[in-house]
Structures are given as C-alpha cells and as structure tokens.
Amino acid sequence: MRIVFHLFEQEEGASEPREFQKATIAFNTAIEMWKLASEQIYHRFAAMLTGNSIILAVIGLVITDRVHIDSWFIYILIAAGIALCLVWIYFMSHGVRVENRYRQIAERLQRNVIPQNENVLITTDDPKAGGFLEAVTLVVYIFVIIYVAVLACWNLGVIKP
C-alpha cells in the first residue's frame, strides 16, 4: 500500500503553532504505523504459506516413499500443520484489526493537519477488511482440508507407510 502525505505549512494567523506541529507528528506517526501493520500482514501471510508448504512437501516425500520416517511422525506433521493454520487465522485477523485501528487514528488526526479546502488523503474505505481476510481464510481452510484428507487416507490405508 502506498500512502502519499503532503506536509502543509501552518496557516498565517493560526493561534497554536505548537499544537499544529504535534498534530503533524502524530499524523505522520499514525501513517507510518498503518504502513508497518500492512507490511506485517503480508510478511506473516508469506511466512505461514511457506511453513504450511514445507510441511506438505515433507508429507509428500513420505507418501511417495522418497523419505522413510516412522508413521507417528506423519501425525505430528499433520497436527503441526493444523496448529499452524490456527495461528495463521489469528495472525491475519489480528493484523487486519491493528491496521484498521491505525487507519482510523490517521483518519481522525488528518482533520488537524490538512486544510479544509484540500482533498482528503484518507477515506473510511478499508480494502482489506472485505475480501482479503475472507481470501486468507479460504486458503487456510484448503490447507486444513488437505491435512484432514491426508490423515484420513493414512488411517484408511490408502497411503501406505
């Protein structure tokens, strides 16, 4: 996400230049925290996607008989994968809430920094709150379904240890 911020000079005759400076610093800080929260969401997504992919790759190597491990290790891998999926959902929902909070703070603070006749730089629309979290949840459910399917096939003997 790219946010453009223009620092406006204090208008002539303004009574509280120090308050304007504080408001500008607070606004800049809120914008930076918003950007940081947004970046963290994507980094967490990538880390969780990579972690689950590695677990599935190891399970795939065991299934194709390229790696020989004890059968109980498959159960540990599946449990770890499902636990990772639960953490993934928590990280994503928490990250979106934090990002949304900083966006709301920046939106509130902009009234003190941006002159009334200028276009508003921040709107109340939150692009991630709608489809992003649902998409991540769908990806996590797909991983859980894969883990459950592997577990079922393993227990039914469709996949031979």
Of the ranges 10-24, 54-68, 88-102, 129-143, which one carries the lowest mean pLDDT score? 10-24
Q: What is the pLDDT of residues 125-158, one digit of tens each?
A: 555 555 778 888 899 999 999 999 999 988 888 8
Look up the domain containing 131 and give its range: 17-156
pLDDT of residue 4: 45
In a domain, 82, yes or no: yes
Mean pLDDT of 107-125: 67
The single-letter code of the amino acid at 127 is: P
Q: Look at residue 118 and tell me if it is in a domain.
A: yes
What domain count does the chain have? 1
Please list, in sequence order, all residues whose beta carbon lies within 8 angstroms of the beta carbon of residue 80, skipping any fewer than 6 positions away: 55
Domain assignment present for 60: yes
Cα separation, 63 vs 20, in Å, equals: 64
- Answer whether 23's CB lies under 8 Å from 114's CB: no
What is the average pLDDT value for the chain, to the nearest integer? Answer: 80
Under the banding of pLDDT at 50, 70 and 90, the label for residue 46 is very high
**Has residue 110 been placed in a domain?**
yes
1 domain-assigned: no
Q: Which residue has the higher pLDDT, 157 or 117?
A: 157
Give the whole-number percent of the chain exceeding pLDDT 70: 79
Q: Does residue 81 belong to any structural domain of this protein?
A: yes
Q: Which two tokens stand for residue 156?
A: 């039914």
Instruction: Give pTM, 2 decimals.
Output: 0.71
Domain contains 7:
no
Pick from 46, 139, 39: which is nearest to 95 by CA? 39
- Say if residues 105 and 37 touch (Cβ distance below 8 Å): no
What is the phi-psi region of residue 159: left when phi exceeds 0, alpha when psi lies from -120 to 50, beta otherwise? beta
pLDDT over 70 (residue 60)? yes
> For residue 115, how many C-alpha atoms fall within 13 Å in the half-sphere facing its CB?
10
pLDDT score for 3:
47
User: Is residue 6 one of the residues assigned to a domain?
Assistant: no
CB 140 within 8 A of CB 54: no
How far does Cα 93 stand from its chain's mean position? 7
Other Cβ atoms within 10 Å of 132 Cβ, number: 18
Cβ proximity of 35 and 1 under 8 Å: yes
